[in-house]
Amino acid sequence: MLLSLAIVVSLSAKPPPDARLDLLEAMVAEVDRSHQSLTLKENPAPYFVGAQVKDYLHHEIGAKYGALFADAQERERKLFADVRVGSYEFDSSVGEELDFSFSLKGTSFFAPKVGPLDDSPTALRTALWLVIDEKYKSALFNYLKKKGEDVYTVDAPGRAPSFTKQERELFVGPRAPYSFSTERWIALAKSLSKRLAGEKAFFDSEVRVSGDKVVRLYASSEGTRIVTEETLFSVRVSAVTRAEDGQLLDNSRDWYAPREELLPTDAAIAKETEVMVADLLALRAAPTIDPYTGPALFEPDAAGVLFHEAVGHRLEGERQDNDAEGKTFRGQIGKLVLPAFLSVTDDPTLKERAGLPLNGHYLFDEEGVAGVRVPLVQDGVLKNFLLSRRPVDGFTKSNGHGRAQGNRKPVARMANLVVESKKSLSDVELKKLLIAEAKRQGKPFALVIRDITGGNTNTTSYGYQAFKGTPRMVFRVDVRDGKESLVRGVEIVGTPLSSINKVLATGKREGVFNGFCGAESGMVPVSTVAPAVLLQEIELQRSLEGKDRPPLLPSPFAP
């Protein structure tokens, strides 16, 4: 049990009034009332009730062409309830949660999933009362349906329980200071967007700054009580152009920090923006490259995206038992799945790495479970999965990775994925090995991939197991002299295990990739820490060829 200092102090002294605790007490009262008394006729009552409130405060500044396009501030409270009928061994949960509605004079009613902005315990209890009631009816419907289906289906050997049992958590975190310097960000956004608009080759560009604060309250019938506060700030600078052949090209820079003062200075952002501009202009003038199969060196940012898509998603717990999933690593615990010099962990307790803050840091997941460091692959051998409270065969405890955006249903997701290696070479040694491998394969050139704009992966059983990434800065390396030249027009494709198992060596220098990941439970902040990786073989196919003309007239902004 985790008993916070804040709670201990509250028992021994009289702290100043804390509206968060009043709201938490109201949540506890409604959760307990529902757990003890909620029932329909002779049907079973819920064995578990959990409720969560997320209080969001969001600021956003957006500018284009030297002018302000967005200046927004909004606040909302989102509600989520998890109501389960049955038992930990067999309950109402299903792979695709069914929304339940009941008829009232020909209409259907769905409880709003938002709470009061005022700190009114009674209003919050009333809003939760309707949400919990709806969830109970849906859970009861699903439970009876599952029991009926159980009559006709054979029990799978060693079928995992429906829900894990967890120790209760008691934690009240401190308040997180939050300020958003609107005037500073407006001035910076207008200045940088004016600079971008002055480039004749760019037909669109944008500067966007955001600040978010989330106050989270969680209570369950198991006795867990949690209050946390988190803040996240971001700056994004982006521009779009077209090459002469019509291919659409973009470039961007993103900065993230848990506190506003930890973001780079205006001068540092402006300096990096100039690098982004130069890269995009060079990319626009670069030649296209034909489809390619051969050795490639992924620098740290690109390697992070590669491991996130090809490995990380396939280690998420819900994908191991879902018949709609490809179950890439099902039954592989204790077996070699990666090269023996590679290890992969996921650690939401990490706040920073290499002096950079990590997006994926949190204390508790959306199911009220403390996030912990999870060794996923050790020396190439599969050890564990990312787990929510939905058990996986052989694993009966959550490791605090049940994550979700807003009031969506949590599922196991990555947080801070860390790739480490026992076969590390210097940058110079890696490039020599890259060229040597290309020569061995009879290739006239090899590739260096500096960064990737993003990626996606298919993990389902309805399609082939593959991932795809869109490299942004790709350099062709001549095997005769090692000279690098920028190219464009390709995207990475591959099957996950065959690609990752062709890693020959890694670099010594780590890179941090911060961003957001979208999956079934929405967009969640994540980070990947990885060294450069040298792959014996990677496949690049032609990206979609654009034929659109750029704007016919020059920009009114251009001289």
The domains of the chain are located at 5-55+74-172, 182-217+225-285, 292-542
Cα distance from N-terminal residue to C-terminal residue, the chain? 66
Burial annotation 456-495 (CB, 10 A radius, 16+ → b, else e): ebbbeeeeebbbebebbbbbbbebeeeebebbbbbbbebe
What per-residue confidence (pLDDT) applies to 327?
66
What per-residue confidence (pLDDT) applies to 494?
73
Beta-bridge mates of residue 452? 471
Question: How far is Cα 185 from Cα 235, in angstroms, rounded to an integer?
Answer: 9
Burial annotation 396-424 (CB, 10 A radius, 16+ → b, else e): eebbbbbbbbbbbbbbbbbbbbbbbbeeb
- Which residues neighbour 440 within 8 Å (Cβ) at sequence distance 6 or greater? none
As a three-state string, the secondary structure of 483-552 is CEEEEECEEEEECHHHHHCCEEEEEEEEEEEEEEEEECCEEEEEEEEEEEEEEEEEEEEECCCCCCCCCC
Helix (H, G, I), strand (E, B) or coil at 24: helix
Cα torsion 484, 490, 494, 496: sign: positive
What per-residue confidence (pLDDT) applies to 5?
42
Question: How far is Cα 136 from Cα 141, in angstroms, rounded to an integer?
Answer: 8
Q: Residue 383 in contact with residue 420, Cβ under 8 Å? A: no
Taking only Cα atoms into account, the Rg of the chain, rounded to an integer number of angstroms, comes to 26
CA distances from 366 to 265, 400, 502 (A): 33, 8, 36
Question: How far is Cα 226 from Cα 367, in angstroms, rounded to an integer?
Answer: 10
Helix (H, G, I), strand (E, B) or coil at 443: coil
* DSSP H/E element including 266: helix 266-285
What per-residue confidence (pLDDT) applies to 454?
64
Q: How many CB atoms lie within 10 A of CB 74?
A: 9
Q: Residue 225 in contact with residue 218, Cβ under 8 Å? A: yes
What per-residue confidence (pLDDT) applies to 155?
59
Q: For residue 157, what is the DSSP state? A: T
- Which residues neighbour 426 within 8 Å (Cβ) at sequence distance 6 or greater? 507, 508
Burial of 109 (0-12, 13-18, 19+ CB in 10 A): exposed
What per-residue confidence (pLDDT) applies to 36?
96
Question: How far is Cα 205 from Cα 241, in angstroms, rounded to an integer?
Answer: 9
CA atoms within 13 A on the CB side of 73: 4
| Cα 462 to the center of its chain, rounded Å | 23
User: DSSP string of 300-365?
Assistant: HHHHHHHHHHHTGGGGBTHHHH-TTB--TTTT-TTSB-S-TTEEEEE-TT--EETTEE-TT--SB-
pLDDT per position in the chain (559 positions), as tens?
Answer: 344 444 444 445 566 789 999 999 999 999 999 999 999 999 999 999 999 999 999 999 999 999 999 999 999 999 999 999 999 999 998 744 444 434 344 455 678 899 999 999 999 999 999 999 999 999 999 999 988 877 666 555 567 899 999 999 999 999 999 999 999 999 999 999 999 999 999 999 999 999 999 999 999 999 999 999 999 999 999 999 999 888 889 999 999 999 999 999 999 999 999 999 999 999 999 999 888 899 999 999 899 988 998 899 989 988 877 655 556 777 789 999 999 999 999 999 999 998 899 999 999 999 999 999 999 999 999 999 999 999 988 898 999 999 999 999 999 999 999 999 999 999 999 999 999 999 999 999 999 999 887 655 554 444 545 566 788 899 999 999 999 999 998 888 877 677 788 999 999 999 999 999 988 889 999 999 999 999 999 888 877 666 677 788 888 876 6
Question: How far is Cα 310 from Cα 497, in angstroms, rounded to an integer?
Answer: 7
What per-residue confidence (pLDDT) applies to 246?
86
What per-residue confidence (pLDDT) applies to 253?
96
* DSSP H/E element including 216: strand 202-220
Q: For residue 393, what is the DSSP state? A: T
CATH number of 182-217+225-285: 3.30.2290.10
- At residue 143, φ and ψ (nearest 5 deg) are -65, -45
pTM above 0.85, yes or no: yes
